[in-house]
Structure 1
Amino acid sequence: MAGHSKWKNIAHRKGRQDAARGKIFTKLSKEIFVAAREGGGDPNANSRLRLAMNKAREHNMPNDNIERVIKKATGELEGVNYEEINYEGYGPGGVAIYVEVLTDSRNRAASDMRHIFSKYGGNLGELGCVNWMFDKKGVINIMKEENSIQEEELLLLALEGGADDMRSEEEYYEVITQPEVFEEVKATITAAGVKVSNSEVTMVPQNTITLTGDEAQKMLILIDKLEDNDDVQNVYSNFDISQEDLEKYQG
């Protein structure tokens, strides 16, 4: 499976930073709200809601909060309404950027996206200009130091559950699935006693562009500014950088 860039593993640390700033619960609540509004409040009959609830629990979001958001979405409680909007554009080095937004103000979101892209070295493009460069996939990461399972055994386990492929990186294994079988593959892996460090249904780039030096640093700043926006749910890109450049930025 080509293209799932290593920079995505920033998300693990970034998630903890967002939690410290109180942002992650807001993003999770919005995703739960839209999933319940569109597919109903029963997670057994609504896979998007089920995934959103599981992700919220992984981040220790209280069940009372989850239930309250679902009730607002289904009309049992009064609440705001969120609209889903996607923005597409380019960053330093011509890399593709795909942004998923959930907002209660379309005008504010559009203004914010134009401002962030232009101020931090990007270019906002037309709808459809880059989304064709990504495939929707389930991604399951297993840290090697946290598990004793061998690569061949894990691969057989993943394929048994219905996975498409598995990659071995220096610190982790990455299992790739179709979205429809993501939960089944994850359940098969965890049932064998394997600890999953991170899992999500995400947009995986078909190919990546490697950035170095100033371009890499500018790209990381642009991604951070986009992710820090309250209306932004997810940011996807097809860039990759070296561990050295990543450490300089985190420095």
Structure 2
Amino acid sequence: MSGHSKWKNIQGRKNAQDAKRGKIFQKLAKEIYVAAKNGPDPEMNPSLRLVIDKAKAVNMPNDNIKRAIHKASGNQNAENYEEITYEGYGPGGAAIMVTALTDNKNRTASNVRVAFSRNGGNLGETGCVSYLFDRKGYLVIERENLDIDEDDMLLQAIEAGAEEMETSDEVFEIYTEPESFMEVKKNLENSGFTFVTAEITMVPQTYITLDEEQSDKMERLLDRLEDDDDVQNIYHNVEG
């Protein structure tokens, strides 16, 4: 993990995702709905609080957030979504993990399989690439207008309970163990920091680079997966 910027990959996809803002809101609404089924109060439901923070970070309207929570609170015609993880290989042997929330496993599996096969990849068995990733808490703090240097920020992060930090000109990227993520986030918030990203994610242990043709195919594969309403998150080990 050390020496690689996950933020660089996130920024690399930002323009493509900005064009799909409505779809992103739709997916977040589903995620909020699922989390809120375990309780509509974010103060008592850490999973809901986390996805609300994620929604606010991409400027999802408060009305959309409230509507998804309210929908989950009602019992009539309740929708049930199952979380499924797919694993496979992309162009150049890239390791890819896809998480989905679906009410139709056959539909989702078929769509994901087609996305892989038509864009230089293939869907694999469970466990085929997950061992190449570590589950981590991930917090990003923008450095603009922040009066703190790298050494002091690292000290603050470690004191808050963080495991590791990466620094670039734009951001501080802070990694935690999943179990301590909420505590680290709260400690840093209490110290006055805000985050542009705060999530539990999958971080590649190593990264690979692709040639131009492979990169084009990878872009098309990611676009196809992101267009699928059931797909929530995509993780891969291609250097941004």
TM-score, scaled relative to structure 1: 0.85
| Structure 2 SS opposite 1:163 | coil
- Paired with 1:146 and 1:116, the residues of 2 have a C-alpha distance of 41
Residue 94 (structure 2) pairs with residue 92 (structure 1)? no
- Aligned pairs for 1:44-193 (under 5 A) are 44-193=43-192
CA contact (8 A) 1:117 1:123 kept: yes
Query: How far, CA to CA, are the matches of 2:85 and 2:128 in structure 1?
Result: 11
Indicate the residue corresponding to 1:29 in structure 2. 29
- Post-superposition shift, 1:194? 3.7
Q: Give distance in 2, aligned partners of 1:179 and 1:218.
A: 32
Deviates more, 1:230-239 or 1:207-216: 207-216
Where in structure 1 are there 5+ consecutive unaligned residues? Answer: 242-251
For structure 1, which segment, 106-115 or 191-200, has the greater mean C-alpha deviation from structure 2 after superposition? 191-200
Task: Give a deviation string over 1:78-116, Cα, whole Å, max 9, x none.
Answer: 343222111110011111000001122222111111111
Aligned counterparts of 2:187 and 2:134: Cα–Cα separation in 1: 23
CA distance in 2, matches of 1:139, 1:11: 17
Identity %: 50
1:159-185 deviation per Cα after TM superposition (whole angstroms, max 9, x unaligned): 111100101124322111122332332
Query: Bigger CA drift: 97-106 or 211-220?
Result: 211-220
SS of 1:149's partner is coil
CA distance, structure 1, for counterparts of residue 93 and residue 5 of structure 2: 17
What is the rounded CA distance, in whole Å, between the counterparts of 2:190 and 2:150 in structure 1? Answer: 17
- Cα distance in 2, alignment partners of residues 137 and 13 from structure 1: 25
Deviating more after overlay: 39-48 vs 155-164: 39-48
**What corresponds to 1:249 in structure 2?**
none
Let me know the Cα RMSD of the aligned residues. Answer: 2.2
**Which deviations, in whole Å up to 9, do the C-alpha atoms of 1:24-57 show, x marking residues without a partner?**
11111111122233x3333233221221122123
In structure 2, C-alpha distance between the alignment counterparts of 1:27 and 1:124, rounded to whole Å:
22
Three-state SS of the structure 2 residue aligned to 1:111 is helix
Which has the higher mean CA deviation after the structures are superposed, 70-79 or 167-176?
70-79
Please tell me whether the aligned partners of residues 88 and 124 of structure 1 are also in contact (alpha carbons under 8 angstroms): yes
1:8 is aligned to 10
Cα distance in structure 1, aligned partners of 2:198 and 2:49: 14
Quick check: 1:146–1:195 contact (8 Å CA) kept in 2? no
TM-score by length of 2: 0.88
Q: Distance in 2 between matches of 1:10 and 1:78?
A: 39
CA distance in 1, matches of 2:50, 2:16: 20
Does the CA-based 8 Å contact 1:147-1:195 persist in structure 2?
A: no
Structure 1 residues 54 and 222: CA distance shift in structure 2, 3 A:
same
Shift of 1:189: 3.0
Residue 11 of structure 1: CA displacement? 4.7
Aligned residues: 238
Separation of aligned partners in 2, 1:12 and 1:191: 29
Q: Is the 8 A contact 2:135 2:201 kept in 1?
A: yes
Kindly provide the CA deviation profile for residues 138-162 of structure 1, in whole angstroms up to 9, marking residues without a partner as x.
Answer: 1112233342310011111111111
The letter of the residue matching 1:28 is L
